[in-house]
Structure 1
Amino acid sequence: MLFDELNLIEPILKALQTEGYTQPTPIQEQSIPTILQSKDLLGCAQTGTGKTAAFAIPMLQLLHNPHANAKGPKTPIRALVLTPTRELAIQIEESFKAYGRNLPLRHLVIFGGVGQKAQTDALHRGVDILVATPGRLLDLMTQGFVNLRDIEIFVLDEADRMLDMGFIHDVKKVIAKLPTKRQTLFFSATMPTEIQKLANTILTNPTKVEVTPVSSTAEKIQQSIYFVEKNNKKDLLIHLLQDKSIETALVFTRTKHGADRVVKELLKVKIKAEAIHGNKSQNARQRALTNFKSKETRVLVATDIAARGIDVDELAYVINYELPNIPETYVHRIGRTGRAGLSGTAFSFCDAEEREFLADIEKLIAIKIPVAEDNPYAMSWQGLMAKAASPAKSKSGRGGSAGRSGGGRSGGPRGGNGGQRSQDREPNLSGAKRAPKPARRA
């Protein structure tokens, strides 16, 4: 099935074409028609399955009509997406921006850990679609900046993580302020008893949609982890790329600045590389992707948001220069390779500040990622732990406190025990060779 078979309006189809999307994922194919019929939906799906687009695309279409858009200069909030962390909130708002680029709808993301003035100013100007974390939303509701009486569509995203992070009571307070007559879209990776009860309470005759767990996609890809100090990562990357059998590689960083910095270092040693991220124009991003697909550019360095439209049929190598702080993102990244039955390889660099990210990733995929032995910059796990415990180091890499403001994650994704698990790792850093490379492709 193609997106143009889902009865989507032309402005959205044009936006999807600009992003490079033609085929919906299974959850998008199942969810979009149901949501367009204004029905409630219960989605059992994790981040990385395409669920954000599964609700964002039909929501944009439902909210875009002449009658709804003629309510005066200050638009009431008509749709609310509630999500547990600032990282997910930002990603969701980016999706609304991308798919709604040709529509006159206004959207805003609010979360804690930052000043509220820019957010309240935007709310005062009027917002159609609000993406929020529970704590900051309740704070602004209490102060009178947010009124939910005109909500037509409510999305509760990552409901089970809301429960794990202690936000479920805040979520219930928000729900109590919503109008009874509304469309509700409920997403959760798992269905513990309390989440099932909540779903039964707020959904009316929902359509249930389930997709394969995201963790299963990691099983067919050859993975290895490189323990390395942060300031040695660029040298390790160059070392790996000296292997001429790596014809092309997609390299991931967490930030736009980081992507540009990696490209600069590669160009210094005559490795043709380009960056693709949100600060690049659409034309520049498309040009970089075309060069990469034609192998004119050997290395494409990307951020997670920008990489959403990347679909290279025979990509053999993905390199995580920086580990993502959302474990599902790791699976989504490495899933760019090993497609259509072909083999794929994923190398990941882990420094002292990223050890908890690694524990979360391994917990999600239920695999202990093998340690790469061909590493001239190897640092033992004990060394990483000692360096991370140094008073000079901080744990700011996880994005701040996960308190009521919803401003990030603390510990593992299911209760914060991932850190303890990571301390048990003691890789043998001598003797073994790097795992064999995937078969060359025709």
Structure 2
Amino acid sequence: MESDEEWVVLCPDNPADSSDDDRGVLALPASCFSSTSSEDEDEDGGGGDDDDVDDDEEIGGGEDEEDPYGVDEDDDQPRRPPPRPISGMFHHTPSGSPAYFAFDPLRTAKQLIPDPAFAVLPEPATVLASSCGLVCLRGDATGFYYVANPVTFQRVRLPYPTRDHARDAAPAAVIAFDSDSPSLDAFHHDAFRFSHYHVVVAYQVADGVCAFETFSSRTWDWRVAGDVCAPETVVAASGVGALGRAFWRTTIGHILCFDPCSGSADLIPAPEEVESRPLWEIGEMEGSFCVTCMDEGVTEVAALYMVPDPRGGEPAWVWAGQFDGENMLRQHEEMQLLRSQGAAEVVMWDPREELVIAMDFDGKATRTIGPLHGAKYGKYHTDFIPYVNSRTEIYNSDDVGSVFKTNDEAVTFRVPQPSVEAY
């Protein structure tokens, strides 16, 4: 049934992040997935949390501000909307349960999700990764991997992997979309389109050596890559999917890159800019893989995009933007960089103020989460996983796989024969 508004009843045991007056029941209008101006939705949005940010940090939100997702009807050819900004952050509570913090967007109500703890899954699970609106989780009891879209309530249990990914520790997992997939169109335009994806897992096979096993939505099976890599230790919580590849930070200071289509792994030197700005993080911006970095005094914050070499050589790094941290962040000297995703924003965490801040390349804070202290938010871990909502489909028109319906009935569809193709 199509309607301009959809009402979703939240589970009282797992409410999404919200103010006291919107617990229990939440209206999620269809326009929630593309920002539109609304004076009636300011109660829990950008206009209501201005006090969370210093006065010298300009928060967007005027009524006359141009809609970033709008299309000028006077143009002969409509322009492509910009990538969506981060909607919020998944994290885990001290009990291990997933939870979700929503950003305060420019003008609309917080973009909450109805089941932030993924209670509809058949077992408790841990959130591992997110990309283009899809979330990868792993069952705490069984070790099964799940892929879910928390906006559309779609979720699928993947076949059991063929290798041991160390069930007693969080694996280094990434969701990477095929480079020729329509996922980016779905990400930009919010289209109901299936997008082929890979779940890439890097796991340790010897001291300082890791191997890779990947699941493909095209073949519906896991494959072990023939390539291995010696990155010392992969930083599992740093995983990023971009350009059809999976990326992680490593303890040797290089970036581990794995291509799930070719099965090849490589260690990429970090850009030279991090030598003078040693505090850095990886992420995805506008579909590109990026590195954000700053110096220890937080006097300058910079972002660079990676440009792969089509001939297979070392990639190039191009300047994406920078801002003066000494002036813009003078009251947030303990800032830490977080992973970015979606729009061109630098995402940072202020542990002293318990505040997550998204900033543009002019150094202006555009949206915030928090402060996170107090009964409103409860206890939390800072294992923040960026999430951008979309309606990206997670299975194709042939109904491949085992899909868990909203009513929790498990329906098994036709599963293709395992692929015999090797890397």
TM-score tier (shorter): under 0.3
**Could you say which structure has the larger radius of gyration?**
1
TM-score (norm 1): 0.23
Structure whose residues are more often helix by fraction:
1
Structure whose residues are more often strand by fraction:
2
